[in-house]
Structure 1
Amino acid sequence: MRWFASILITVLLTHFGNTALFADDFYLDRSVYKNTLRFEIDNDVLLKEDSNFSNGWSFQYHSACYASWEDTGAPKFVNWVGNHLPSFGDDESIVLYGQGVGQNMITPGDLTNPNPPPGDLPYAGTLTYTLNWQKFNQRSAQIFQATVGILGKESLAQQFQEIVHENLGLGESPQGWDSQRDTEPILNLAYAHFYSLMHIGSYTDGWAVQLSLAPAAYLGNLSTAVEMGLGIRFGWNMQEGFNAFPAPPGLGFYTNMLIPKPEVSSPHGVELVIGGKATGLIYSVVYDGSVITSDDRNIDYENFVVSGMIGLNYHYYRFFSIRLAFVQETDLLIEDSLPPTQPGDEKTRLDNSYSTFMIDFHF
């Protein structure tokens, strides 16, 4: 048991020995670290399948880091919310706000059938705008996020998939979009609290490891769910803070909760990220049907799923960052509830696994 006690003491000393940083220790005056533009695409292309969650993309803007909400230069409404969210106004953390537009696409397995059979997953597309408030230091982080948008033909998911599949020749021509989910507004709220359980090593020009925990909750018609995530970051010259995980619009968090590097550090950084999360899904219009419109088509699904992620990030802190990730999820849909398929036809995929590409531009 001595080895266990030694490890436990090391973890506790590492964790509790890291006093919270104050705003004047966050290198907020660095001229090379300002705002961030991010493009993210989440797609199932690596699985060579095109069903269930098929594609998501987003364009995001994250403000620079500030010592207080008043310093952000954001609209008064943004600053007011930041100051009045529980614990978001304290001065022992730095703050930023983020926003983005994005689209999700959900399809059944057989894209060639213009009339998907009853019981199969309906076509669905969402187009959303997201605004969030982020507060963090080296020990913990919080994010509150609001997403609004539209489900249905106004999301332009049909047109997007037709361009990609037909004009670019990257898949079969989808024939069933006329049967997509009825139009309804999307409103989703989400909150997450990240905890750095431990870190070992040096973040500045050295190797480091960080272990973090992230409980989260979603409330709305796109997704009502609870979630628990666990992540490990290992790399050289990493930023302190919390990694940006894949975030299909409205189904994840647009985050950039990373502390600027000191001037003396190398402009390069690399990290390996391994994570997992358990999700309890309570309601989603995509699978349960609508409580607003007459579209009551529902699909049987598991209320509890587990997913794992592995990712590789490269940072050139002065100009850009690139993140690659793959997410593998346990089955969400219940196979026996889906209609039988004809020989040679594709059956709707049961899980929502996907790969992610993100690129950040710092300016």
Structure 2
Amino acid sequence: MLENDVFYGEDQDYTNGVKFIWIPDENSQTPEWALNSARFIPWFPQAGKVQHGYAFGQSMFTPSDITIVDPPEGERPYAGWLYAAIGLASEKNQQLDQVSLMIGVIGPAALAQETQTFVHDVTGSDKPMGWDTQLSNEIGLVISHKHSWRELLSYDLLHNKIDVSPYVGTALGNVFTYANAGFTLRYGKDLPNDYGPPRLQPGMPSGVDFSLNSPHLGWYLFAGVEGRAVVRNIFLDGNSFVDSRSVEKFPFVGDFQFGFVIDWKNIRLSYTHVLRTEEYRTQQVNNDFGALTIGVKF
């Protein structure tokens, strides 16, 4: 999965994210630790189908002008986030509960400077000059939960299907702390048993089957809205325990996203375009970016 602001012709703020996700096949035996952990979570349905997943990823954040060695006050700080995640999901009666634990490192150890410098060298883009001002090394931890309702509303329209799937969630940690809510509207043919395409920030490594009901090509268009009440965002607030660069964040942030999904046999291709409201008071432009995901079911 790749998220990048190059889809919008920019190179600033949340500029790049990549994540690799592995979810064991639904027909494989769920390990005892996953079943026991799911039963231990009080709001998980006890009779639900339990899945688990793993992820590894890196995200990077930069100011508006990466050619400046010492970005001026009010610019978003340089920051990298390298992490691993493990997630559990339990589904029953078209409702999905997901819990994930992300642990990683923020700062030079996240290797974001090396990654961006290498990519810009290969592509002939501007060399990023200000990484010496990035956030300091810090262990990052995020625990998140999301509850989704699939097809809460569903209709037939022009020989295809349209449905609405709302969700609510929370995240707690020194990297992100927020509460969020939103919904996804899907319209298409042979809608798969999913809850919309995945996203990175902070993202859930667990999920559900996306195989089609038939071997024919399936597709759908989607649009969604999400609102977040943000208490903590280390990439805006700065390091937790040492002095670092920071900006004054807005407590409420909204996303509008739209895109398409194409499924054929065991392959999925999806693209999501995200329009995000301003996250901090000195932000010069909205941080809009695209997300490209390729999934293969073995």
TM-score with structure 2 setting the length:
0.93
Residue matched to 1:359: 294
Structure 1 residue 142: deviation in Å?
Answer: 0.6
Residue matched to 1:56: 17
Which has more strand, going by share of residues? 2
Which has more helix, going by share of residues? 1
In the TM superposition, 1:140-151 aligns within 5 A as 140-151=95-106
| 8 Å contact from structure 2 (residues 212, 218) kept in 1 | no
Q: Percent identity?
A: 24
Structure 1 residue 201: deviation in Å?
Answer: 4.2
| 8 Å contact from structure 1 (residues 242, 258) kept in 2 | no
Please tell me whether residue 79 in structure 1 is matched to residue 35 in structure 2: yes
Structure 2 Cα separation of the partners of residues 198 and 253 of structure 1:
24
Residue matched to 1:323: 270
Gaps of 5+ in 2: none
Residue matched to 2:205: 254
TM-score with structure 1 setting the length:
0.77
The SS at the match of 2:118 is helix
Structure 1 Cα separation of the partners of residues 52 and 116 of structure 2:
31
Number of aligned pairs?
296
Residue matched to 2:174: 221
CA 130–51 in structure 1, closer or farther in 2 if over 3 Å, else same: same
Residue matched to 1:8: none
| 8 Å contact from structure 1 (residues 52, 349) kept in 2 | no
1:78 counterpart letter in structure 2:
A
| 8 Å contact from structure 2 (residues 103, 141) kept in 1 | yes
Structure 2 Cα separation of the partners of residues 261 and 112 of structure 1:
47
Structure 1 Cα separation of the partners of residues 101 and 41 of structure 2:
13
Structure 1 residue 289: deviation in Å?
Answer: 1.7
Please tell me whether residue 177 in structure 1 is matched to residue 136 in structure 2: no
CA 142–252 in structure 1, closer or farther in 2 if over 3 Å, else same: same
CA 180–84 in structure 1, closer or farther in 2 if over 3 Å, else same: same
| 8 Å contact from structure 1 (residues 137, 259) kept in 2 | no
Provide Cα deviations, 1:254-312, integer angstroms capped at 9, x if missing partner. 343236545xx2342101111010111111111112222x1243211211111111110
Provide Cα deviations, 1:72-109, integer angstroms capped at 9, x if missing partner. 1x3x4333212211243522x32211111000100011
In the TM superposition, 1:1-363 aligns within 5 A as 40-65=1-26, 71-72=29-30, 74=31, 76-88=32-44, 90-91=46-47, 93-137=48-92, 139-169=94-124, 171-196=125-150, 197-201=152-156, 207-248=160-201, 251-258=202-209, 260-262=211-213, 265-292=214-241, 294-317=242-265, 319-335=266-282, 349-363=284-298
Residue matched to 1:18: none
Structure 2 Cα separation of the partners of residues 133 and 209 of structure 1:
28
The SS at the match of 2:64 is coil
Residue matched to 1:35: none
CA 253–130 in structure 1, closer or farther in 2 if over 3 Å, else same: same
The SS at the match of 1:121 is coil
Structure 1 residue 126: deviation in Å?
Answer: 0.5
Structure 1 Cα separation of the partners of residues 237 and 218 of structure 2:
43
Structure 1 residue 137: deviation in Å?
Answer: 3.9
Gaps of 5+ in 1: 1-39, 336-347
